[in-house]
Each structure stands twice: as C-alpha cells, then as structure tokens.
C-alpha cells in the first residue's frame, strides 16, 4: 500500500466540480484541491486517469506525488482531521502551533 498526495488547478468551474467529485470518491480531501490517496499504485493511477479524462490539458493541471513510506507530517493551522482521529497512513505526526 502506498500514499500519494494529489493536487490540481482547474480553470473552469464545471470541470473543477467534476474532478473534485471524482477524487472525493477515492481519496481524502485535505484542502479543496489537495487530496491524500492511500492504496495500490494501480488504484492511484486509475484515479488520476479518471480525473484526466475530465480535464482540459491546455488549461488545467493535476500533480500526483508518492510520499515516502516512513515520512513525517507536520500540521500548522486548522487540522485536516478532527481531534482524536489519527490518519494511520503516516508513520509520525506532529502538531505545530
């Protein structure tokens, strides 16, 4: 199982909504256009390809980064998850501020 950070910049409101809905079905939104995907490499590839079919390659952008297996997460500002809920896709977690 792998962890990916997926982010997009969509120029058209209709395409933006479609891509957001598509990713919400397979990944956890951290911010409106930033998602955390935990699963197989093939599952991530399929999710990204599904989104690409909804996008305009001349105007829109989608990036997918595989995160290290034993990475460190630091949160600053508003929490992505409610207090008491821990995302187990990370090996260590630290709250700053």
Q: Check whether 39 has a pLDDT greater than 70.
A: yes
Whether 96 shows a pLDDT value over 60: the answer reads no
Read off the pLDDT of residues 51-61 as tens digits, 9 standing for 90 and up.
Answer: 999 999 999 99
**Averaged pLDDT, 30-58:** 94
Can you give the pTM of this predicted structure?
A: 0.76
Q: Higher confidence at residue 77 or residue 87?
A: 77
Distance CA 96, CA 49 (A): 35
Burial of 44 (0-12, 13-18, 19+ CB in 10 A): buried
- As a whole number of angstroms, the distance between CA 70 and CA 88 comes to 11
Q: Among all chains, which residue has been given the structure tokens 């950070």?
A: 5
pLDDT at 85: 64
């Amino acid at each position: 199982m792998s962890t990916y950070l997926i982010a997009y910049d969509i120029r058209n409101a209709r395409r933006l909504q479609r891509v957001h809905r598509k990713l919400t079905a397979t990944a956890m939104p951290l911010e409106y256009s930033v998602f955390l995907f935990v699963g197989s490499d093939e599952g991530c590839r399929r999710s990204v390809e599904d989104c690409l079919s909804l996008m305009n390659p001349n105007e829109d952008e989608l990036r997918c980064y595989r995160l290290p297996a034993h990475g460190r997460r630091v949160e600053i500002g508003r929490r992505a998850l409610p207090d008491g809920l821990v995302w187990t896709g990370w090996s260590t977690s630290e709250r700053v501020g």
